[in-house]
Amino acid sequence: MTVFEKVFGTAPEGVWAAPGRVNLIGEHTDYNDGFVMPFALPHTTVASVARRDDGLLRVHSGDMPGGIVELRLDELTPGRDDGWASYPAGVVWALREAGHRLTGADIHYESTVPTGAGLSSSAALEVVTALALNDLHGLGVERPAMALLCQRAENVYVGAPTGIMDQTASACCTAGHALFVDTRDGSQRQVPLDLAAEGMRLLVVDTRVKHAHSDGSYAERRAGCEAGAAALGVPALRDIPFDGLAAALDRLRQGGHDESILGLVRHIVTENHRVEQVIELLDAGRTRDIGAVLTAGHVSLRDDFRISCAELDLVVDTANASGALGARMTGGGFGGSAIVLAESDAAEKITEAVVSAFAAAGLQEPRVFTAVPSAGARKV
Ligand code: ADP
Ligand code: MG
């Protein structure tokens, strides 16, 4: 008997999976109309689902204590706190808001995506829910629109002001590719990325720390970016070209803006440029050279955007000192994960060096794994 049958007493109509993601380059650019380049992880959140016809949403997670959470579809409203169930509830709410007719569902989730590690377990949970309901009800929602609905669920219903990258990655990535997204117009390009074939590995190092101020600082950085764009008279920082950066910074200085705003602007403008550099290097077959761009991205997040922390810096510095091609923090910041690009035959030595450095610093052992660009959300 499956867990779904034990929990709900009936058989599921189908099983769907949606992955977590790691972002190769393009950090904090997605709420500045900028460029991002994530890829899907092999780690997924799996949903077993059966429709109901009585207007009830009943959700259960193998990863959360507390049993079944039961909600009435017509009582779903933003601002309710249903704990983890707010994520699937928000998706159902957003689908209904968009005019789709839903009748209720029983859903059981199991996940291998680490939660709160900057690897987007929240987007995996949202996207798997949206895809399953889309398929079961024949809603015909395309993947990019599905990502937007899931973002709306997280922004409005759950109340987390995230950009569009995570949901787009989970919904739209394909195996063997990183996904370039221009978050202004939503245009996408699948960029081939087969590191193993070129003798390299991308390690994800989950520091297992999440500093308490991370949510507030995200909102603060976001507001700072908006203030910077307003001061420069542009809709978003995306509109400052790389070769216009020096002039933009001068203008902010003359306007009496402090260094912290200048740092935010400098990071976003240079980060968009780094995404373009990475694409050019990959297109030119110069994959090893992206390492230096990743490290430059870390320095920018650390010194200009100021969202790194001692643990993330320790991963990056130790990896680079141990022969990595490059490394950077990834995700929201103040904890979560870092990525390390390494020659395949150096990966083990680098991993050992990072683990030893954490032990020497009295920190919990980090979780390290090799990230292979994997498939986006699908029926299984
Ligand atoms: P991240 O997306 O980086 O993992 P978030 O804080 O955005 O971190 O989302 C994590 C939250 O998403 C969890 O605290 C939980 O509420 C919810 N969540 C994620 N995966 C699951 C799951 N498999 N079952 C239940 N809730 C989950
Ligand atoms: Mg999340």
pLDDT in the model for residue 63: 94
Decide whether any atom of ligand 1 lies within 6 Å of the 122 Cβ: yes
- Residue 144 Cα, ligand 1 centroid: separation in angstroms? 21
Over the chain (380 residues), the average pLDDT of each successive run of 10 is: 95 98 97 98 98 98 95 95 96 98 97 93 98 98 98 96 95 98 97 97 96 82 96 98 98 95 98 98 97 98 97 98 98 94 98 98 97 98
By DSSP bridging, strand 56-61 and strand 69-72 are antiparallel
Residues 208 and 188 in one domain: no
Q: Does some domain include residue 377?
A: no
Q: Which ligand is nearest to the CA of 69?
A: 1
- Residue 305 Cα, ligand 2 centroid: separation in angstroms? 19
Rounded Cα distance between 168 and 171, Å, is 5
Read off the tokens for 33: 């109309």
Residues 148 and 201 in one domain: no
- Residue 47 Cα, ligand 2 centroid: separation in angstroms? 18
pLDDT in the model for residue 320: 98
Residues 212 and 170 in one domain: no
- Specify the CATH number for the domain of residue 243: 3.30.70.890
Residues 94 and 222 in one domain: no
Q: Does some domain include residue 295?
A: yes
- With beta carbons less than 8 A apart as the criterion, state whether 172 and 143 touch: yes
- Specify the CATH number for the domain of residue 181: 3.30.230.10
Decide whether any atom of ligand 1 lies within 6 Å of the 111 Cβ: yes
Residues 178 and 274 in one domain: no
Q: Does some domain include residue 170?
A: yes
Decide whether any atom of ligand 1 lies within 6 Å of the 109 Cβ: yes
pLDDT in the model for residue 212: 76
Nearest CA to ligand 1 atom 15: 84
Residues 159 and 294 in one domain: no
pLDDT in the model for residue 145: 97
Last residue of a domain, one of 192, 209, 233: 192
Closest ligand 1 atom, residue 45 Cα: 23
pLDDT in the model for residue 219: 87
Q: Please list, in sequence order, all residues whose beta carbon lies within 8 angstroms of the beta carbon of residue 40, skipping any fewer than 6 positions away.
A: 19, 20, 21, 169, 170, 173, 174, 175, 179, 373, 374, 375, 376
Decide whether any atom of ligand 1 lies within 6 Å of the 61 Cβ: yes
Last residue of a domain, one of 145, 166, 192: 192
Which residue among 166, 194, 215, 283 is the active-site one?
166
Q: Does some domain include residue 230?
A: yes
Decide whether any atom of ligand 1 lies within 6 Å of the 64 Cβ: yes
Last residue of a domain, one of 163, 192, 221: 192
Residues 152 and 36 in one domain: yes
Residues 185 and 218 in one domain: no
pLDDT in the model for residue 213: 76
Q: Does some domain include residue 110?
A: yes
Residues 99 and 33 in one domain: yes
What's the total number of domains in the chain? 2
Rounded Cα distance between 165 and 171, Å, is 10
Residues 125 and 22 in one domain: yes
Decide whether any atom of ligand 1 lies within 6 Å of the 244 Cβ: no
pLDDT in the model for residue 116: 87
- Residue 258 Cα, ligand 1 centroid: separation in angstroms? 36
Closest ligand 1 atom, residue 86 Cα: 16
Residues 223 and 298 in one domain: yes
Nearest CA to ligand 1 atom 3: 118
Q: Does some domain include residue 379?
A: no
Residues 66 and 148 in one domain: yes
Residue 166 annotated among the catalytic residues of the structure: yes
Q: Which ligand is nearest to the CA of 336?
A: 1
The domain containing residue 230 runs over which residues? 196-370
Q: Does some domain include residue 275?
A: yes
Give the end-to-end CA distance of the chain in Å, rounded to a whole number.
18
pLDDT in the model for residue 211: 85
- Residue 322 Cα, ligand 2 centroid: separation in angstroms? 31
Q: Does some domain include residue 376?
A: no
Decide whether any atom of ligand 1 lies within 6 Å of the 120 Cβ: yes
